[in-house]
Amino acid sequence: MTARAIWWVRRDMRLDDNGALLKAAKAEAMLAVYVHAQAEEGEWPLGGAQKWWLARSLAALDASLKAAGSRLVILDGEAAKVLVDLARKIGATEVVWSRRFEPAALAQERRVEAALDAAGIVWSGFNTNRLFDPEEIATKEGRPYQVYTPFSRACRARAVPAQPRSAPAELPSATGAPKGLSIAELDLEPTPNWAGGFDPMWRPGEAGAHAHLKRFSDGPVAQYPEGRDNPSIDGSSRLSPHLAFGEIGIRRVWHAAAKAKHAPAESIDKYHAELLWREFATHVLYHFPHTDLKPLRADYAKFPWRKDAAALRAWQRGQTGYPLVDAGMRQLWHTGWMHNRVRMVVASFLVKHLLLPWQEGARWFWDTLVDADLANNSLGWQWAAGCGADAAPYFRIFNPTSQAEKFDAQAVYIKRWVPELVRLGAEAAREPWDAPPLALASVGVVLGENYPRPVVEHTMARERALAALASVSKKG
């Protein structure tokens, strides 16, 4: 038995089904350590919404550890140096952690491994947050997948994910550990506080994750194929931020959905397909690490994107004049989250209607989403821009009006997030520019004054986007 072990806490902030924790807990004494090393996150340090979540997730984890007889130590600095120094200080002979697969995180791990090797300290990395290691899934030719459907078939052909393991009731604590930093010293809280709308919607931490899982598996999973596309109802799992911070294990989620007795097989299968899309995102970023900032399809590096600060600002603030787009962007700003169907619409609007670079959208989402995950964010934006793995063809341009008619026919979602339009009928709320002026005036809506006119006309924007695509094809 190892005398003393360090559990290096990363994006695995839970006790349940955590291979790294369970390995460390076999030692005679164990210390849980979170190292705040934002300088080692490369181009993608924590965004504002993630910082808000992290502060609460750390507090929840510390409370769980204390309940099990341990505690969380928070340190900052270069992870390799911090961990080696700490191991020497407390006499630890082993360091364990959960692997991350983002480029900067992998580079960080390599530095930690080298430093521990040089210090003669044993280490182990565990894949606790994905169903599959991205190196395990490959084509018959041994290459990484770039199309989702064959990737998902390859995943499903493997053994069913192992059953999750329960959290240990007690943990062996280590004496002589430093006090560490307080969460407040990490300066994670927004100033001024723009996150007032987050609290009613979210409960960061492992307990909140399990509560969301129970809510979803007891109800919405049964209608998931239809419910996931309706932004006006609570039809999605809302587990994405909990998964992003590792507050719940992916195997726990997979099996909870599979055991939902009231859910038809096709609903469970559809939800599992979404979990495998998350696996696919990790697979793509791991094998093509440049895709966080550069297109997977090299020809799109020549795409003639526009520069338009005013249009970008209108999109960011939900002031485009397209109600469904504006509703989504305001929901994001207010809650740190956006419904997935609407995410596709607002992303398409940025890269096709406004012809602005997908990287601008990726950075805005990174800063404002509580569930920001680099692999998902990169794949999603490249999908919208038509330049990534299994991407939607660029010439398929979402019409935000017809999308609203199809997925928010009664404008319930629009009216919730765009209160300027709440007194209009459903059709007028979806397309206020087509509503009779007297109808608008009768409810106090004045386009261009208290609700913007469209920043771009749909037909013109569509033709402009197709012309831009054609210019890339000619250059190629």
Cβ contacts of residue 438 below 8 Å, gap of 6+? none
Which 8-state DSSP code applies to residue 11?
Answer: S
Q: Which of 7, 53, 97, 358 is catalytic?
A: 358
> What residues does 7 pair with on adjacent strands?
32, 96
CA distances from 340 to 230, 244, 377, 385, 431 (A): 9, 15, 12, 16, 22
Q: Which candidate in 340, 405, 427, 433 is catalytic?
A: 340
The closest alpha carbon to 282, from 148, 156, 162, belongs to 148
Do the bridges between strand 72-76 and strand 4-9 make them parallel or antiparallel, or are there none, so unpaired? unpaired
Can 230 be counted among the known catalytic residues?
A: no
DSSP 378-426: HHHHHHHHT-STTPPPTT----HHHHHHHH-TT-HHHHHH-GGGTTS-H
Query: 236: closest CA among 347, 389, 343?
Result: 343
Catalytic status, residue 305: yes
The dihedral sign for the CA sequence 461, 466, 467, 468: positive
Region of 386 on the Ramachandran plot (φ > 0 left; ψ -120 to 50 alpha; else beta): left
Longest dimension (CA), the chain: 80
Give catalytic status of residue 450 as yes or no.
Answer: no
Q: Are strands 94-98 and 29-36 parallel, antiparallel or unpaired?
A: unpaired
Strands 4-9 and 29-36: parallel
Contact of 438 with 428, CB cutoff 8 Å: no
Identify the active-site residue in 189, 274, 405, 427: 274
Q: Which residue has the tokens 């989250």?
A: 337
Token pair recorded at residue 377:
């964010």
The catalytically annotated residue of 97, 315, 381, 383 is 381
Active site residue 53: no
- The residue from 305, 405, 427, 433 that is catalytic is 305
Question: Among residues 277, 405, 427, 433, which one is catalytic?
Answer: 277
**Which positions are catalytic?**
274, 277, 305, 340, 358, 381
